Structure 1
């Protein structure tokens, strides 16, 4: 079990909920417009849809501690590495919507939650992937340990810091409680998040590399630096 918080709407001001809903809607539409829908291969669609369903399954294995505080695997980094940034954002939109329908989240806080659990983790993962390709050797192990393991761990930690900061700023919980009772779990459970993503991606690039849009055999296995 790893952790992520599903934010409930009650502690937050209406202007924040409305503005984040508008912002997230624009970002989702922008991501959808960037996807070449009519040229997607069957392999890419299989990887994208399969990984999204896999992430949704992980989200259902949760532990609720307090209202607004729940812990489960995030999966955003792995989905980004499989499907790419824009498709990962849409996949996580569908996952969060399904989670909301199941009653694990609230529509009023959908935009705010989406920014925390989808946009920020996906953006960080994409940035690390781009940086590693530019600055580090083209190596299979760098792909797994930096782009998959490290990125997943860092995104979990960042989600924890941002969520605890929002809940403290809103007055839902005291900062002392969040720092002493909740934030340590994020740093502890970031490791299972990274480990599960690293193992999952290792298996995929070996057995089904055609499903992984960010992995290129010619770049990682044959390129000489």
Structure 2
């Protein structure tokens, strides 16, 4: 499990909530236009939808600690590797909206949650993926340990740092509580995030490689 935000809108200024919501909508429209919908195979669509549903169910297994802090898996790295950046962003936007319906956050904070729980994991995962493709040989173990395990952990650590910094800037909690008590937990929770991402992606690329957008067995397994 991992620490994730269920952001109460009352903690943040109105201008930030409005700007984040508007920019989040623009990002979703951009993602829709960028995705090549006509070329998607049935396997790609099925894996995208299945992963999205499983992630939504996983999010329901959470334990609230304080306002803005709760336990559950992020899942953005796995979704990005499976569905690609554009579909991952769209899924996370919709899943966050659905999660609002369960009463886990304020609707006014949807945009801010999208940037933190949606855009941040997708962007971090893509940067690590591009880095590995550029500086490492196309190897199966590089993909699993760098793009899956490492990306999952790093995403959680960056999220934790930004989460604590944001809550500190809006005076939601003291710096001592956030950086001495909560931030170390984010570091620890990066490991289960990495394990869940790496384990699930390993099973998929072995048994259903066509379901993973970021994996090409001809490249990583040197098939001819």
TM-score if structure 2 supplies the norm length? 0.97
Alpha-carbon distance in structure 1 between the residues aligned to 2:161 and 2:71: 14
Alpha-carbon distance in structure 1 between the residues aligned to 2:203 and 2:157: 24
Unaligned runs of 5+ in 2: none
Deviation at 1:98, TM superposition (A): 1.2
Paired residue for 2:61? 61
Matches within 5 A, 1:84-103: 84-103=84-103
Confirm or deny: 8 A CA contact 1:138 1:223 kept in the other structure.
Answer: no
**Aligned-pair Cα RMSD in Å:** 1.2
Alpha-carbon distance in structure 2 between the residues aligned to 1:161 and 1:25: 25
Matches within 5 A, 1:145-156: 145-156=145-156
Change (3 A) 1:127 1:223: farther
Deviation at 1:223, TM superposition (A): 6.7
Matches within 5 A, 1:64-79: 64-79=64-79
Confirm or deny: 8 A CA contact 2:78 2:201 kept in the other structure.
Answer: yes
Paired residue for 1:9? 9
Deviation at 1:38, TM superposition (A): 2.4
Counting matched residue pairs gives 224
Paired residue for 1:221? 221
Paired residue for 1:45? 45
Paired residue for 1:128? 128
Confirm or deny: 8 A CA contact 1:4 1:156 kept in the other structure.
Answer: no
Q: Which moved more, 1:19-28 or 1:76-85?
A: 19-28
Confirm or deny: 8 A CA contact 1:168 1:178 kept in the other structure.
Answer: yes
TM-score if structure 1 supplies the norm length? 0.97
Confirm or deny: 8 A CA contact 2:6 2:67 kept in the other structure.
Answer: no
Alpha-carbon distance in structure 2 between the residues aligned to 1:71 and 1:211: 28
Superposed structure 1 runs of 4+ greater than 2 Å apart: none
Matches within 5 A, 1:170-185: 170-185=170-185
Deviation at 1:128, TM superposition (A): 0.8
Paired residue for 2:31? 31
Unaligned runs of 5+ in 1: none
